[in-house]
Amino acid sequence: MVDQKMADLIGTDDAGIKVYRAGDTVKGTVIDSSPSRILLDLEGGLTGIITRKEATGFYTEDEAVEPGTEIEAAVIDPESDQGLVVLSLRKASQDMVWAELNESLESGRIIKVKISEANKGGLMASYKGLRAFLPVSQLMPINYPRVEGADTARILKKLQKHIGKEFAVRVINVDRENGKVIISEKAAHEEQMKKTLHDLSVGDVIKGEVSGVLKYGIFVAHNGIEGLVHLSEMDWGHVSDPSKHYELGDKVEVVVIGIDGDKLSFSIKQLTEDPWKDKVKKYEEGQKVTGKVLRWNAQGVFIEIEPDVQGLFDLEQFGVEDYTELKLKEGEEMEGKIQSINYDSHRFELEKV
């Protein structure tokens, strides 16, 4: 008689018959299938049965599994009332998927997931039947729900647009005991982002896509990285509302004007010649000009020489320390001499005459 401990090790009973236990993973060959069940020929001359419920997600109701197909499944019940070994494709598959996710975590291998749900914290994704969470903070710039004031309702609305999409991600945490998997889209593109940043220099002209429209400017994504085009860099003229000029997804061309670590500053207006320069070609330093008083403040007194051409008198020239002491009238004419032409601030620095 075979010792019972040895029988346990080799999976046979004392009569040499193959013994299966709940939780075992077994392989079998399909001998028959129908919409309600699949029958397998197992080692030891036993027959296994997989009900449609335990095959859900692997075969459609009208799909027959060809006889002779080899299938791996998990044992649920070693012997049913009918003398069959009850098996589950779902449990066996889950074991394999958990193993895949652990391998992906350790190796850094990129996997593809399908987005199934959205909540204010991020996206829920499906990977071979298992659920995984993609936090908002782990989204690529192009998919990040950037909104004014972090409005949760608007964030959720933006996130819901990703439902049904396929994302390339890396696994960053696996906790099978609690059934939790955390994934990152950023991590999947980390190398690409690093390379893009490394290859980028101030002055480079690049093409991108508008990934955020806010009151103070627009964000533009390019090869996994993102930069800001501030209001002041959108146009040579005055821009008060970026949303009137750009929408999410718009294709734009920008020039890199600042790199601070991974924080980038872009400009759109600097891709074109400043029209103000052309407008003031007829003026030169030392030239006398006359204009009408527009306003005065702590900076000094501003006059309009012609439309879009202004000059500034320093307060000291009026013998006062506080601009509130000035006795001026808006619209009155004032004459001055051009000390310098400030192309950055688009004005003349003037000296009283």
Identify any residues that bridge with 234 across adjacent strands, giving them in sequence order: none
CA atoms within 13 A on the CB side of 246: 29
Q: Domains of the chain (ranges plus CATH)?
A: 4-92 (2.40.50.140), 108-188 (2.40.50.140), 190-271 (2.40.50.140), 279-352 (2.40.50.140)
Q: Looking up tokens 């007829």, which residue turns up? A: 282
pTM: 0.60
CA atoms within 13 A on the CB side of 113: 30
| C-beta separation of 68 from 59 below 8 A | no
- Per-residue pLDDT tens digits of the chain, which is 353 residues long: 334 443 443 355 554 567 899 888 898 999 998 888 899 999 989 999 998 888 765 554 444 578 998 888 889 999 998 999 999 887 777 788 888 899 999 999 999 999 999 998 999 998 887 889 999 999 998 898 888 777 888 899 999 999 999 999 999 999 988 889 999 999 999 888 889 999 999 999 999 999 989 999 999 999 889 999 999 999 988 888 999 999 989 999 999 999 998 899 999 999 998 999 999 999 999 999 999 999 999 999 999 999 989 999 999 999 898 999 999 999 999 999 999 999 888 899 999 98
User: In angstroms, rounded to a whole number, what is the distance separating the alpha carbons of residues 298 and 328?
Assistant: 14
DSSP state of 12: B
DSSP state of 211: E
**Other beta carbons less than 10 A from residue 213's beta carbon:** 20
Q: Measured between alpha carbons, how far apart are the two ends of the chain, in Å?
A: 122
* 54 exposure class (CB count in 10 Å sphere: 0-12, 13-18, 19+): buried
Q: Which two tokens stand for residue 7?
A: 């029988």
